[in-house]
Structure 1
Amino acid sequence: MSRKSQKAQLGRQYNPLQAGLCPNQNPENGTTDCDSSLPAYSELPAPMNSTPPTLSPQSLTITPGLPPINLSQYFIPDASVSKDETTITISSTHLCTNESALTDFLTTQAALPPHPQIHLTGVHDVYGEREVDFDIHISLFRYLIPSENPPLNYIKIIGPDELAFRGDSTRTILPHVDGGLKEWARRFCHDSSPSKEFVLERAVPNWNTPLLEGLIRNLLASLKYQGRVTIEFPITQSKVVVTTQPQDGSILPRLLSLVRETKRYAVVQSVWPYANVGTSSMERDRPRRTCVVQSEEDWWDVWSEGLAAAIVEKRRGKLTLEDVMDRVMLGRASVKIKKVWGESS
């Protein structure tokens, strides 16, 4: 069929008069009810912009492969982040005096998990100079949030017999406060101390890091590595601090903080368990240990070959799940080392 005949056929298919949608045709001027119901050109919607949309932080909440968390909420305007990325500090008169705003802010921040990681380094000395053999970071963020079932996270308020900063410069077991987060926020905001701070901690209990450290050290031994090894399990984004102290880097507030006590409220934890119970609970009549996403042993089965390759390749940087997947998909053989390496000289 020619293009001309196609246009003619399309015109016949969508003629409103033939379709019976405009029955009241005016024989004098040829107008129809359809003509009066159509919008003017100025009322027509603007053509769709062909420019591809930019990726907003909110869109990351629906990105396949990422946990269903609004990652943009981690960013707090005007807040400072510690060098090790563990502590976010915000100086805000509004949050320090408005109990409702503080409660809402802490509730939002408590709904965000911390970022557990594995960091291992290997170094050796060459004629007195330190040489880095590998420096590897692995993120375990995704293992706190299941893809189907709800996570096990909850907010914990300090109990009556627990030592904590309860509005003083030292840890005490008093006062005991009923009313939960709202009441503690009220007390903080009504505290007239010129130097005070409210601390929200994010914790990852029941994560068997001793097991993982042992597995990593056994792997290094099998790779015949002789250097000095450091294995750490840092948890970044693990503390949010609301304070009256300015964070502009000026010297005067720092000097004043040395001569006057800071009233500290560290009574709230956002708890994100790796498993429902710890490994010490594997006794008779105790709940069966169930991990939120994957057990440490299963995680090791997936990651060990990729980690071995990264160590031998002397990687400096992140080891990702995609790196592990690529190794499996390409059918690369297991890493085998015949000679010792990493010896100091």
Structure 2
Amino acid sequence: MNPASSSLVTEKALLASRSNDDDLTADSASTSEPPPYSSPSNSSETSISHDSQGTHGFHYYTGLPRLDYKLYSPPVFTLSPDCTTLSSKAEYLTASASALIGLIRSQASIPPKPLIHIRGNRGRTIDFDFKMNLMGLLVADDMGKRLDYIRCVAPGEVAFRGGAKADVLPEVGDGELDEWCRRFIEDPAPVKSFALERVVANLDTLYIEGQIRSLIASTQYKGQINISFPVTHCKVKVKSAEKPSKLYMGMKNLFTSKHKYEVVQSVWPFATARNGEEGRRCMVQSEEVWWREWRDSIKYAMAQKRQNGAYVTNEDKLEALMEGKGKGVTSIDWGGTGPELEEHAD
């Protein structure tokens, strides 16, 4: 599924996702037609409680977004080394449509972890290399204000719909998530997979990157700057456990025997619309407010030449607020040497 198709989410559509009787009205980045989706990801079956005592099945951790963190590491699942993909070959998930539907809905109720990765280097010398976690900007403390929802592939949208290649067919009509799960379970292919993708919508990364680059330039830094926005915990994949026999693989092409279902997204809006659009409402705070709160901490992390992808955290923000760390820094001595890039580094 093309992530760009869910990059524009309007408040009207997000509010409509809270009613099973309303028509589907979410805007798509590539079309004015509404992208279909199944239901709010925090529906009655998977809703998350405010209760810090865990009376609804999970414990609320003070200072963290109100989420069921156990869902990030469920039994019989393995997290990839880069922390992007949670995968399982549990047989019950490829044998029962209801089990697969329950898994997708529960996994859609927790967000991905969007990051900012900031690095500066001069040749083989790394001057600074640190990250920031933006996940808290996707989850409001008031669960009634959450706008996340499940989106299924739209008619005419190119996606892996149960074949070896991306296509616009087949279509499932009504039913969407339930019907896609049923088709996956009934697919006789010996090698098949079903994926849920978690995506972030309406975050203005260009604005944030521009502010960071201007801040770095103000320190007289002359090196190469790399600013990226990686997203971890962004995919959940169920794979068939059965491996085809060598005889079967010899009789049928390997690639045509792999059936992929990548038709479902869990959309987590940073805001109800793109930056600058009328009526925009942010889930937690705007990019501008976020920048004002964190710019001194970012500058201080640079001045300290923080390394190895270390995080800039709330402790850095406290030091900026309480001790003035980062304030008044107009230039940084970039002389000397720092940790060197390995031969194989990008």
- TM class by shorter chain equals 0.7 to 0.9
Instruction: Kindly state the Cα deviation for residue 139 of structure 1 after the two structures are TM-superposed.
Output: 0.5
SS at match of 1:67: coil
Identity of aligned residues (%): 37
Q: Check 1:275–1:314 CA distance in 2 against 1; reply closer, same or farther (3 A cut).
A: same
- Corresponding residue for residue 80 of structure 2: 82
Would you say 1:146 and 2:146 are equivalent positions? no
Q: Where do residues 125-136 of structure 1 align in structure 2 (5 Å cutoff)?
A: 125=123, 130-136=124-130
Q: Point out where structure 1 has 5 or more consecutive residues left out of the alignment.
A: 1-54
SS at match of 1:188: helix
Q: Distance in 1 between matches of 2:149 and 2:95?
A: 26
Q: Check 1:339–1:324 CA distance in 2 against 1; reply closer, same or farther (3 A cut).
A: closer
- Corresponding residue for residue 43 of structure 1: none
Would you say 1:72 and 2:63 are equivalent positions? no
- Corresponding residue for residue 196 of structure 1: 192
Instruction: Kindly state the Cα deviation for residue 208 of structure 1 after the two structures are TM-superposed.
Output: 0.3
Instruction: Kindly state the Cα deviation for residue 92 of structure 1 after the two structures are TM-superposed.
Output: 1.6
AA at the equivalent of 1:63: Y
**Does the 8 Å contact 1:308/1:335 carry over to 2?**
no
**Does the 8 Å contact 1:225/1:341 carry over to 2?**
yes
Q: Distance in 1 between matches of 2:59 and 2:167?
A: 40
Computing the radius of gyration from Cα coordinates, the structure with the larger value is 1
Instruction: Kindly state the Cα deviation for residue 76 of structure 1 after the two structures are TM-superposed.
Output: 2.4
Structure 1 consecutive aligned stretches of length 4 or more whose deviation exceeds 6 Å: 255-258, 342-345
**Does the 8 Å contact 1:166/1:174 carry over to 2?**
yes
Q: Distance in 1 between matches of 2:241 and 2:126?
A: 39
Q: Distance in 1 between matches of 2:176 and 2:145?
A: 23
Q: Check 1:59–1:218 CA distance in 2 against 1; reply closer, same or farther (3 A cut).
A: farther
- Corresponding residue for residue 287 of structure 2: 296
Q: Check 1:74–1:144 CA distance in 2 against 1; reply closer, same or farther (3 A cut).
A: same
**Does the 8 Å contact 1:197/1:264 carry over to 2?**
yes
Matched residue pairs, number?
275
TM-score (structure 2 length as normaliser): 0.73
Would you say 1:211 and 2:207 are equivalent positions? yes
Instruction: Kindly state the Cα deviation for residue 246 of structure 1 after the two structures are TM-superposed.
Output: 7.6
Give the alignment partner of residue 322 of structure 1, picking from 291, 298, 315.
315
Task: Write 1 or 2 for the structure with the bigger share of helix.
Answer: 1
- Corresponding residue for residue 10 of structure 2: none
- Aligned CA-pair RMSD: 2.7
**Does the 8 Å contact 1:124/1:343 carry over to 2?**
no
SS at match of 2:215: helix
**Does the 8 Å contact 2:148/2:269 carry over to 1?**
yes
**Does the 8 Å contact 1:227/1:343 carry over to 2?**
no
Instruction: Kindly state the Cα deviation for residue 337 of structure 1 after the two structures are TM-superposed.
Output: 3.9
Instruction: Kindly state the Cα deviation for residue 200 of structure 1 after the two structures are TM-superposed.
Output: 0.2
